[in-house]
Amino acid sequence: CNLFLAGWWKRPEKPNLLAEKVEQLMEWSSRRSVIRTNGDKFRRFVKAPPRNYSVVVMFTALQPQRQCSVCRQANEEYQVLANSWRYSSAFSNKLFFTVVDYDEGADVFQQLNMNSAPTFMHFPPKGKPKRADTFDLQRIGFAAEQLAKWIADRTDVHIRVFRPPNYSGTIALALLVSLVGGLLYLRRNNLEFIYNKTGWAMAALCVVFAMTSGQMWNHIRGPPYAHKNPQNGQVSYIHGSSQAQFVAESHIILLLNAAITMGMVLLNEAATSKGDVGKRRSKLFSTVSSYYTYKKYLQKIKFRTISRLPSTIVKNITALFKIRMPVFTSLFWVYQFVTNQT
């Protein structure tokens, strides 16, 4: 009888422990949408059973001495997502958002064999995290909308992202309209510059450069500007996969496209101008130099992952072939034209 009573008294411990954990997490969530955890809190509330709730953890390094700008950008998106969940009508105790900073939980990073930040992981109510429970940050980016979609796939919890109002775009547009309007007013007696073909061509080129360099992809996916290896501190500006890119990579592509375009402009000037042959030759040599630089660095970017992605070899070679052929044809034609004039 005593043994039976002892066993009966021990049974409620597990439900009581679960209730205490949920109550504590709910209390922390009421204060802050993202719960800061160290090694002890992580092991108790995220790893240790019992659990009937899911936990999304952001592993990061936000301290200034870490110089992780990507971590700060990802943290802003993570805060937007957590706030959207916290203040939504569907908020419940089935999902919690937490963060583990390297300087507060280095033992957690060692326990999980984690050597990069930021990283997002989902810890399900039962069992260990699977491969899909780690968010593919390098390929998808860290936009709050992409994180919400990933969480919906892993937990069946759908979060509608609400962003705080941002009037910077409206203010910038208003300033631009005011500037253009003021310029037109000051030049109201002489509006011939509106019909300047060179100005419209430059404006069109800027739009083309922005689109062909991947700026729209950056706007949709929200990738990091660059990646800093926490082990050796090396900064990577070119992504290692052909399925993703960094913001810095698109800027590099933009500059390279601008260089080859400037070379084509110089080719046209050398072919149509009626000036000194020496100056026309110098323009030709400048064009060859800019094209060589473009080809050299663009090849490095395009073929960086060719050994790991053999299926992209034909695609990349075809793309480069399409780029080179018109340039080679123009170079040969201008060279013949210039040399014939001598």
| Mean pLDDT value of segment 233-247 | 75
What is the C-alpha separation between 71 and 89, in angstroms, rounded?
A: 29
Stretch among 144-148, 219-223, 274-278, 312-316 having the lowest mean pLDDT: 312-316
| Cβ–Cβ under 8 Å, residues 68 and 117 | yes
Q: Residue range 136-156: average pLDDT? A: 88
10 and 123 share one domain: yes
Predicted local confidence at residue 315, as pLDDT: 42
Residue 138 Cα distances to 7, 134, 163, angstroms: 51, 11, 23
Q: Which residues contact 141 (CB under 8 A, 6 or more apart)?
A: 221, 222, 223, 224, 244
- Establish if 188 belongs to a structural domain: no
Identify whether 121 is part of a domain.
yes
Segment 252-297, tens digit of pLDDT = 878 877 777 777 777 676 666 676 767 767 766 766 666 666 666 6
Whether residue 148 has pLDDT greater than 90 = yes
Strands (E), 212-324: 227-228, 235-236
Structure-token pair, residue 233: 């501190």
Domain that holds residue 8: 2-155
Q: What is the mean pLDDT of residues 120-145?
A: 88
Domain assignment present for residue 263? The answer is: yes
On whether residue 168 sits in a domain, the answer given is no
Q: Is residue 72 part of a domain?
A: yes
Is residue 163 in a domain?
no
Q: Per the domain annotation, does 181 fall within a domain? A: no
Element (H, E) at 191: none
pLDDT, greater one: 97 or 244: 97
β-partners of residue 122 are 56
Does residue 5 surpass a pLDDT of 70? Answer: no
121, 222: one domain: no
Mean pLDDT estimate for the chain: 76
Supply the pTM of this predicted model: 0.55
Q: Which of 155, 183, 201 is the last residue of a domain?
A: 155
Are residues 118 and 230 part of one domain? no
Last residue of a domain, one of 125, 155, 185: 155
Distances (CA, A) of 259 to 119, 132, 204, 221: 36, 41, 16, 27
Q: How confident is the model at residue 98 (pLDDT cuts 50, 70, 90)?
A: very high
Residues 199 and 150 in one domain: no
Spatial distance between the Cα atoms of 272 and 284, rounded to a whole number of angstroms? 12
Ranges 213-217, 246-250, 268-272: which has the least confidence = 268-272
Total domain count, the chain: 2
Residue with tokens 């000037």: 269
Q: Do 6 and 125 belong together in one domain?
A: yes
pLDDT band of residue 136 (cuts 50, 70, 90) is confident
Question: pLDDT at position 85, please?
Answer: 93
| Same domain? 73 vs 139 | yes
